[in-house]
Amino acid sequence: MPGQKAAVGERRAQILAAAIQVAAAGGLDDLTIQRVAAVAGLSHGLVHFHFKTKQELLSALLDHVLHATAASEAVPPAARSDAPLDELLAVMRSEMARLTADAEITRLFFDFSVMGARSRPIRMRMSAELARYRRAFRPLVKRVLESEPGRFVGVTADGLWAVVVAFIKGSALQSVIDPRGFDASGFLAASSALLAQIESSASGSQSLSV
């Protein structure tokens, strides 16, 4: 029945919200059915009804985290601007703001990354999500390279994408480590200035050699 399915979905969402609180506070190793039930204000049996084991609860939590940190609609699927590089920087700002806004989810993403080093199934699922993230950025990254070949001599789409994701995920990591001291806009501004300085220095060196 539709009403019954909705109730089941709401209960699972309630349990997952409690699981996020427990795991974000004490880490994934502290996640237990008992702790989640206590935070959710539910009986142990009811939580166990929806998630038979801790592993099943972890799997559902990983699904939630990957969905929350996946590439957003801010990444354009096709050409929308005559200035692809400016568009890419705008997307980076948007993604940094989005991923640094929810410290709990971001913390869990990195916790799962560490767990993935010991668990092949988790590592494979996170790799698959990273591949989807790469595919979301690829059209825009390719447009940047095509529009400014002189600026990105010898740079491949995969290479530029790796740098873009390093900036985005790096900002998210810093927001977890130092949530009060980190400023996403300042991070991107400083990164852009640094890259411009490197480019300027490289151009100057080439002129001197000639």
- Say if domain 2-63 classifies as CATH 1.10.10.60: yes
Residue % of the chain over a pLDDT of 90: 30
Rounded CA separation 22/35 (Å): 7
Q: What is the pTM of this model?
A: 0.74
In sign, the C-alpha dihedral spanning 175, 179, 184, 188 is negative
Rounded CA separation 147/21 (Å): 45
The pLDDT assigned to 189 comes to 79
- Is the distance from CB of 110 to CB of 176 less than 8 angstroms? yes
Q: Which residue type occupies 155?
A: V
The pLDDT assigned to 174 comes to 83
Per-residue pLDDT tens over the stretch 92-134: 888 888 888 788 888 898 899 889 989 999 999 999 988 888 8
Rounded CA separation 110/17 (Å): 18
Cα distances from 170 to residues 102, 164, 182, in angstroms, run 15, 10, 11
Per-residue pLDDT tens over the stretch 84-93: 888 888 888 8
